[in-house]
Amino acid sequence: MKALVCSALQPDYAGVALEERPVPEPGPSEVRVRIKAASLNFPDLLMTEGKYQFKPDLPFVLGMEFAGEVDALGEGVTDFAPGEAVVGGNKIGAFSEFAVVPAAVVRRKPASISFAAAASYSAAYLTAYVALIRRGNLQPGETLLVHGASGGVGLAAVDVGRLLGAVVIATSASAAKRDILKAYGADHVLPESGFREAVKALTGGRGADVIFDPVGGDVFDESVRCIAFDGRLLVIGFASGRIPSVAVNMPLIKGFSVVGVRAGEYGRRFPERGRENMAAIWKWAEEGKVHPRIHARVPLSDWRRAFDMMRSREVVGKVVIEM
């Protein structure tokens, strides 16, 4: 089988190459999936240089999310049958023609959505769900400020915020992306810098109740200046490259909370809630209540183009690699 393998941690994907590998055999409690589509996430790029918190042993096959068909069952697996359409996620292994994963991380794909949409859905919408519902307690009528709103996770937060009845303010550095965000359903769209006064004006001086920040750096610093009393500033990540800090007198005086969000870890710490979270987001998908956006579909042989699109931040939504 063809697989995208990282053999060395180097800049510009120099340690990454498409290789031929033996098709793996499933062990007990595992399934082998013939991958149809796998989505690219920003951590995939970070892992090629060893800059992500999860550092798998070299060499490893890249790719975190996939959709495909069950190809073979390991001993003890009775919940699936060969040929069934499934979706799943693992920290590595999705950018290949076949992947062996624990049966526990696989679920049936809703018939109503494509393989490409299913592969691009879970991580982004799970992050948005845990952030806005579990950690941010977003309420109907509250103002939600979403930074990095054109990325896969940010766009999911816009979608979920709209579904929950919030007033959604989205920011993006690109005018073209801001046009897409407005059409997508954001109530207001602003540039990614210099948004402070506009947010305060749009909220009657009060500020945003919930701020979803996967960017960090200067964006976080400015967010502190336009958050409402009793607001929740959700820390999703640091795509800008700088991890910011805040003087603790600011949350004290302004009465807001800085809340860390790790959706996967949340589910591992609270397994029952984790199952509830996954069930809730896939119910939304089955009912057509949310709308994942696919920016581009790229064949595995052209993987570098997909990575370059992500690195240059031209993506609105998700890039899907198809096998």
> In which element (H, E) is residue 65 found?
strand 65-73
**Looking at 9-23, 191-205, 213-227, 305-319, which range is the least confident one?**
305-319
> In which element (H, E) is residue 299 found?
strand 294-299
pLDDT at 67: 97
Does residue 257 register a pLDDT over 90? yes
Q: CATH number of the domain that 155 lies in?
A: 3.40.50.720
- pTM of the full predicted structure? 0.90
- Let me know if residue 33 belongs to a domain: yes
pLDDT at 298: 97
- Let me know if residue 271 belongs to a domain: no
- Let me know if residue 276 belongs to a domain: no
Query: In residues, how long is the chain?
Result: 323
Query: How confident is the model over 21-74, as pLDDT tens digits?
Result: 999 999 999 999 999 999 999 889 999 999 888 899 999 999 999 999 999 999
pLDDT at 90: 87
- Let me know if residue 281 belongs to a domain: no
C-alpha to C-alpha distance for 217 and 246, rounded to whole angstroms: 11
Q: Does 26 share its domain with 115?
A: yes
Q: Which residues pair with 100 in a beta bridge?
A: 32
The secondary structure of 70-106 as a DSSP string is: EEEE-TT--S--TT-EEEEE-SS--SBSEEEEEGGGE
Query: How confident is the model over 83-122, as pLDDT tens digits?
Result: 999 999 888 999 999 999 999 999 999 998 999 999 999 9
C-alpha to C-alpha distance for 177 and 149, rounded to whole angstroms: 9
C-alpha to C-alpha distance for 319 and 273, rounded to whole angstroms: 29
Q: Find the domain containing 142 and state its range.
A: 127-265
Q: Does 163 share its domain with 234?
A: yes
- Let me know if residue 277 belongs to a domain: no
Summarize the confidence of residues 186-193 as an average pLDDT.
95
Does residue 14 register a pLDDT over 90? yes
Q: Does 230 share its domain with 198?
A: yes
Summarize the confidence of residues 12-23 as an average pLDDT.
96
Q: Does 298 share its domain with 168?
A: no
pLDDT at 177: 92
If you search the block for the tokens 């947010």, which residue do you land on? 199
pLDDT at 214: 94
- Let me know if residue 112 belongs to a domain: yes
- Let me know if residue 108 belongs to a domain: yes
The pair of structure tokens assigned to 262 is 């790790």
Phi/psi class of residue 185: alpha, beta or left (left: φ > 0; alpha: ψ in -120 to 50)? left
Summarize the confidence of residues 259-275 as an average pLDDT.
94
pLDDT at 173: 87
C-alpha to C-alpha distance for 171 and 235, rounded to whole angstroms: 16
Q: Which residues pair with 191 in a beta bridge?
A: 172
Number of domains in the chain: 2
Q: Where does residue 169 rank: exposed (0-12), middle (13-18), buried (19+ CB within 10 A)?
A: buried
- Are 195 and 217 contacting, i.e. CB atoms less than 8 angstroms apart? no
List, in order, residues 6 or more apart from 203 with CB less than 8 Å away. Answer: 143, 228
pLDDT at 215: 95
265 pLDDT band, cuts 50/70/90, is very high
Summarize the confidence of residues 266-286 as an average pLDDT.
94
Does residue 239 register a pLDDT over 90? no
Q: Does 60 share its domain with 117?
A: yes
Does residue 241 register a pLDDT over 90? no
Q: Does 91 share its domain with 18?
A: yes
pLDDT at 171: 96
Domain-ending residue, one of 227, 248, 265: 265
